[in-house]
């Protein structure tokens, strides 16, 4: 008898090879074992274009209503993609739109496998990356300076005189950029990080470059510290700690650590370091990603993209060996959270059983090509895309 979940999970379909994998996962690993109620949104690039991206906003609002969503990887189009798919324009990143609507923080965590050794020999436990998902370079304004010019930062209060700060007196060409963030967003980021660390029972690290950016990064430092102070009793009761340091020191300490902490990062640093962590622990295909809002809404997805190169091979009829692990874990994360929120322990147990089966399947020597190349001990052959999912399904039936 299949386990039943009555409250909807918001499902967001995606693009290219991950869309192909998404359907396989549902058909072979999810629906045969658990009865889900799904509210479906097609976030494939053509449908987003057809709806003028309204479907992305509708999906985010549905997550706000139901509390849990699961998302397939999607295309963020550049000029070449606009031409390839005949789009109206370069639509914004769906992930960015959803983050903004949910006011969420993105947490990424590597999946540890016994036969995929980390590139950094000291790493023994997952390094969780919490990425502040608002502002900074991602909402910057910028201009190229063609010749001699004066660039100023002008602050115009609702009342009072404007304040002007000289950026640079250009004697020739150059470039200038302005960034911002908001106190509300930084507080939400800090609060989400604290909640995540408490739920995972792991220490929190936070780092900026406040010795150079005394006001901008200093503001981040102070706001984060204020939110930590508010939760000092909860942090102490959980037996975890908060540590602030310079970003230079954080990078050095991470490389020497055994892992097992949440590294809370500003937006750009989180973007870069999450990919470093994924590669260091094996592959982007082994990295989970969850967007958490301050009011407890969750959106689970894989940390990688749409695997375009494999998709083109698939269209030619050629076999592919595409890693589906992170997409499977997106589904298990959403199902476990839905079960946890609804008090359905069987759903949580199913999700954990599927995760354990995926890990045991790989540790048993069945893996896709990207993992075969880094496995220790080595295996003699790799599994094709569907072969791997079929192997997991077969092992699930024998658990």
Contact 150, 169 (CB under 8 A): yes
| pLDDT tens, residue by residue, 191-249 | 999 989 998 899 999 999 999 999 999 999 999 999 999 999 999 999 999 999 999 99
Q: Return d(Cα 248, Cα 355) in angstroms, integer.
A: 35
Assess whether 339 and 374 both reside in one domain.
yes
| pLDDT tens, residue by residue, 382-393 | 999 999 999 999
Assess whether 303 and 339 both reside in one domain.
yes
> What contacts 24, CB < 8 A, 6 or more positions away?
324, 385, 386, 389
Q: Return d(Cα 329, Cα 331) in angstroms, integer.
A: 5
| Helix (H) or strand (E) run with residue 163 in it | strand 163-170
User: Residues of the chain whose pLDDT is less than 70?
Assistant: none
Instruction: Work out the angle at residue 64's Cα, subtended by the Cα atoms of residues 58 and 65, and round it to the nearest 5 degrees.
Output: 90
pLDDT of residue 225: 98
Instruction: Write the CATH number for 381.
Output: 3.40.718.10
pLDDT of residue 279: 87
Instruction: Work out the angle at residue 142's Cα, subtended by the Cα atoms of residues 139 and 145, and round it to the nearest 5 degrees.
Output: 175
Helix-helix angle 385-397:16-25, to 10 degrees: 20
Assess whether 371 and 262 both reside in one domain.
no
Assess whether 151 and 269 both reside in one domain.
no
Helix-helix angle 216-230:183-200, to 10 degrees: 50
Q: Return d(Cα 303, Cα 285) in angstroms, integer.
A: 7
Assess whether 128 and 55 both reside in one domain.
no
Pairing of strands 68-71, 9-13: parallel
Helix-helix angle 345-363:325-342, to 10 degrees: 160
Q: Which of 156, 178, 200 is the last residue of a domain?
A: 178
What is the three-class DSSP state of 127?
coil
Q: Compute φ and ψ for 94, nearest 5 degrees.
A: -60, -35
Contact 42, 14 (CB under 8 A): no
* Pick from 202, 183, 184: nearest CA to 193: 202
pLDDT of residue 283: 83
Q: Order of strands across the sheet with 9-13?
A: 38-42, 9-13, 68-71, 298-302, 287-292, 105-110, 128-132, 261-265, 203-208, 242-246
Q: From the centroid of its chain, how far is CA 109?
A: 9
Assess whether 11 and 114 both reside in one domain.
yes
Count CB neighbours of 170 within 10 A. 16
Q: Return d(Cα 355, Cα 325) in angstroms, integer.
A: 9
Q: Which of 229, 255, 273 is the last residue of a domain?
A: 273
Assess whether 3 and 49 both reside in one domain.
yes
Q: What is the DSSP letter of 171?
A: S
Assess whether 107 and 157 both reside in one domain.
no
Count CB neighbours of 191 within 10 A. 20
Assess whether 134 and 145 both reside in one domain.
no
What is the three-class DSSP state of 325?
helix
Count CB neighbours of 278 within 10 A. 24
Q: Which of 273, 300, 335 is the last residue of a domain?
A: 273
pLDDT of residue 350: 97
> pTM higher than 0.85 for the full model?
yes
Q: Return d(Cα 221, Cα 225) in angstroms, integer.
A: 6
CB burial of residue 362 (10 Å; 0-12, 13-18, 19+)? buried
**347 CB-side CA count, 13 A:** 24
Length of the chain: 399
Strand partners, 164: 154
Strand partners, 12: 41, 71
* Pick from 200, 206, 190: nearest CA to 254: 206
Q: Quote the domain boundaries for residue 148.
A: 141-178
Assess whether 148 and 219 both reside in one domain.
no
Task: Please give the tally of structural domains in the chain.
Answer: 3
Tokens of 79: 């000029």
Count CB neighbours of 167 within 10 A. 13
pLDDT of residue 42: 98
Assess whether 308 and 360 both reside in one domain.
yes
**Alpha helices (H) in 135-246, listed in sequence order:** 183-200, 216-230, 232-237
pLDDT of residue 392: 98
The residue with tokens 């700060």 is 165
Assess whether 167 and 130 both reside in one domain.
no
DSSP letters spanning 101-115: HHT-EEEEEEPP-TT
């Amino acid at each position: 008898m299949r386990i039943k979940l009555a409250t909807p999970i918001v499902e967001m379909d995606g693009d290219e090879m991950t869309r192909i994998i998404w359907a396989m996962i549902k058909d072979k690993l999810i629906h045969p074992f658990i009865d889900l109620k799904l509210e479906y949104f097609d976030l494939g690039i053509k449908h987003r274009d057809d709806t003028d991206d309204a479907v992305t906003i509708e999906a985010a609002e549905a997550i706000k209503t139901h509390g849990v969503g699961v998302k397939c990887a999607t295309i963020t189009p550049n000029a070449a993609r606009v031409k390839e798919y005949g789009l109206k324009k370069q639509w914004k990143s769906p992930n960015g739109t959803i983050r903004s609507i949910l006011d969420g923080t993105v947490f990424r965590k590597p999946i540890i496998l016994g036969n995929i050794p980390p590139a950094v020999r000291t790493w023994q436990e997952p390094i969780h990356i919490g990425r502040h998902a608002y502002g900074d370079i991602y909402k910057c304004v910028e201009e190229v300076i063609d010749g001699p010019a004066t660039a100023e930062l002008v602050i115009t209060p609702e009342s009072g005189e404007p304040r002007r700060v000289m950026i640079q007196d250009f004697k020739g060409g150059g470039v200038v950029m302005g960034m911002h963030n908001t106190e509300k967003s930084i507080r939400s980021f800090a609060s989400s990080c604290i909640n995540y660390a408490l739920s995972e029972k792991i220490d929190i690290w936070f780092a900026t470059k406040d010795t150079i950016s005394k006001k901008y990064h200093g503001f981040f430092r102070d706001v984060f510290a204020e939110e930590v102070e508010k939760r000092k009793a909860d942090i102490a009761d959980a037996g975890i700690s908060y540590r602030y340091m310079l970003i230079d020191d954080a990078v050095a300490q991470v490389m020497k650590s055994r892992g097992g902490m949440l590294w809370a990062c500003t937006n750009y640093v989180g973007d870069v370091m999450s990919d470093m962590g994924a590669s260091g622990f094996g592959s982007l295909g082994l990295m989970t990603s969850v967007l958490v809002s301050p009011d407890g809404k969750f959106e689970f997805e894989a940390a990688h993209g749409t695997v375009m190169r494999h998709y083109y091979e698939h269209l030619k009829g050629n076999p592919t060996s595409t890693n589906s692990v992170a997409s499977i874990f997106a589904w298990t994360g959403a199902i476990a959270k839905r079960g946890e929120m609804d008090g359905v322990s069987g759903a949580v147990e199913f999700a954990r059983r599927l995760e354990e089966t995926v890990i045991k399947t790989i540790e048993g020597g069945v893996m896709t090509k990207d993992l075969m190349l880094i496995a220790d001990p080595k295996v003699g052959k790799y599994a094709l895309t569907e072969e791997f999912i079929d192997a997991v399904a077969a092992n699930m039936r024998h658990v």
